[in-house]
Structure 1
Amino acid sequence: MSKVEMVELNNELLEGVGSYCLRSKKKSTGYINKNRWLNNRFEEGLKYVQLLDNKKQAGFIEYTDAEYSSRVVHADGYLVIHCLWVSEVGKGYGTRLINKCLEDAKKLSKKGVVVITNSKTSWTPSKEIFLKNDFQLIDTAPYDFELLVYPLSNEAEQPYFPNDWEARLKKFNDLTILRSFQCPYVEIATENIMAGANKLNIPVELIDFKNREELMGFSPTPYGIFSVIFKGQLITFHRLTVHSVVKKLRELTKNSLM
């Protein structure tokens, strides 16, 4: 008989169990950075909950107060879901994890819960599971980003995205990587950008966000934790192959000379 349980990680458990993403490469820089990042965020109230089915990892969810979130959204008083992953669909794992977040939001007297989705990449949670659990689509942003909310009060101010995305991009002409270590795959994504730029002898400026204020002020997308900009245009907000990096950079370099 299946036994499903949820384990909420803390500093001590993280040391023994570790986070789930990139777990197959525990010695990688990305995995180490993610666990270090989690250790620092627990003090801010971040929740990282693993779901186990017969002691086997079956899913996890990560969420925190909007005021400490790695997503670019105005949502003070809400919880923000960073990540949701399950090993199999159709077993109710995702709903269990979402309900855990909603229960915490109620206990903390939050205005509700928000999540950012994007159908063009697997780097964000899938929109469908949230719509199934009564979240509402309330805002959109360039590059197919969507803001969904589960309100816990009809009187609460609704969260919203900034509206100056184009102006943010224009601040950067040189090839620039903006990043946070909330996702362990950021390191791999960075390495591919560096390798592609090196093939074309294009210098890269690397900016690591030190706090939420920097992220809210400079990130050119709601995703927040990884953006690559060149000549005022967004190259990507997720991992690309080295070949794709070279192709995109060549196109932009060529166009700028025309």
Structure 2
Amino acid sequence: MELIKITHDNLEQEHICCAIANNKDIRVLSKKNWLRDRFDEGLVFLKCNVRGKCFIEYIPAEYAWTPIKAEGYMYIDCLWVSGQFKGLGYSNLLLNRCIEDCKAKGKKGLVILSSKKKTSFLSDPKYMRYKGFETADTADPYFELMYLPFDINADKPRFKGCVQEHRDLTKGFTLYYTSQCPFTAKYVPLLENIAKIRDAAFQAVHIQTKSEAQNAPTPFTTFSLFYDGQFITHEILSEKKFEKILISKGL
């Protein structure tokens, strides 16, 4: 299987796997703009030469948009192989190429965000353990920071203390999100509109810098929803799923 690395030179011509549409689509526009700003920081977006979700995206941990301490490691933003491409060895192919690249760059190892059990938008803990990853740290309610050290003496990565600091959140819903995932560009405005119609207090915090992300009150800065300071979900919600949450809160 041929692998394609997306760079400044081919970004406009290549599709980005997780949102296959023309470059005028808000999801594609948002994601490509985010990638364009990260390439010079060392971000790598590597995909199989297929038309679908079959790619890996990783960046030096010092530039990762998540509140972790993992100096010298590479952070995997996303490893996604879906649908008809599952069971063909593509996950192994992408991850192995990532490992080779990171070793060549002198990194201490790899870090990825997972969970206690398999869940949407986070890496599958069973698969990561099969590939040699171990849990380095945990954060409520179910997040796990997993790592694959290339040197047994390498420092263990950890979450920053800010991931548990929710006391200052306003009443009602608070949503933290970034443009790292193209689907936030579509769904966040829809959720805001639903909350407005239902007269529900809703604050969307668009994280737009690395510093903001690295000091956020949640490990998953791509999308994290809180209600009255309590974590609700990291899953990027459809309108129907958000409406169910509103109903559960009596709204």
Q: Same fold (TM over 0.5)?
A: yes
Query: Is the Cα contact below 8 Å between 2:46 and 2:56 reproduced in 1?
Result: yes
Structure 1: 5+ residue stretches without partners:
none
SS of equivalent to 1:115: strand
Distance 1:58 1:239 in 2: 17
Structure 1 residue 250: Cα displacement: 4.6
- Partner residue of 1:62 out of 57, 63, 68: 57
- Partner residue of 1:244 out of 237, 241, 244: 241
Structure 1 residue 96: Cα displacement: 1.1
CA pair 244-59 structure 1, distance change in 2 beyond 3 A: closer
Structure 1 residue 215: Cα displacement: 1.3
Query: Is the Cα contact below 8 Å between 2:45 and 2:55 reproduced in 1?
Result: yes
Q: TM-score, normalised by structure 1?
A: 0.86
Q: Give the match for residue 156 of structure 1.
A: 154
Q: Over aligned residue pairs, what C-alpha RMSD do you find?
A: 2.2
Distance 1:166 1:78 in 2: 23
**Residue correspondence of structure 1 range 93-242 to structure 2 within 5 A:** 93-118=90-115, 119=117, 121-168=119-166, 170-218=168-216, 220-242=217-239
Structure 1 residue 78: Cα displacement: 0.3
Query: Is the Cα contact below 8 Å between 2:17 and 2:53 reproduced in 1?
Result: no
SS of equivalent to 2:77: strand
Distance 2:71 2:161 in 1: 17
Query: Is the Cα contact below 8 Å between 1:45 and 1:65 reproduced in 2?
Result: yes
CA pair 166-114 structure 1, distance change in 2 beyond 3 A: closer
Q: Which amino acid aligns with 1:18?
A: H
Q: 2:74 aligned with 1:79, yes or no?
A: yes
Query: Is the Cα contact below 8 Å between 1:142 and 1:221 reproduced in 2?
Result: no
Distance 2:52 2:201 in 1: 41
Structure 1 residue 203: Cα displacement: 4.4
Q: 2:5 aligned with 1:22, yes or no?
A: no
CA pair 165-249 structure 1, distance change in 2 beyond 3 A: farther
Query: Is the Cα contact below 8 Å between 1:18 and 1:35 reproduced in 2?
Result: no
Moved more, 12-21 or 122-131: 122-131
Q: Which amino acid aligns with 1:45?
A: G
Moved more, 96-105 or 236-245: 236-245
Structure 1 residue 20: Cα displacement: 1.2
SS of equivalent to 1:16: coil
Distance 2:46 2:123 in 1: 15
Query: Is the Cα contact below 8 Å between 2:15 and 2:21 reproduced in 1?
Result: no
CA pair 147-27 structure 1, distance change in 2 beyond 3 A: same
CA pair 226-147 structure 1, distance change in 2 beyond 3 A: same
Q: Which amino acid aligns with 2:195?
A: A
Distance 1:230 1:57 in 2: 34
Q: TM-score, normalised by structure 2?
A: 0.88
Distance 2:153 2:203 in 1: 44
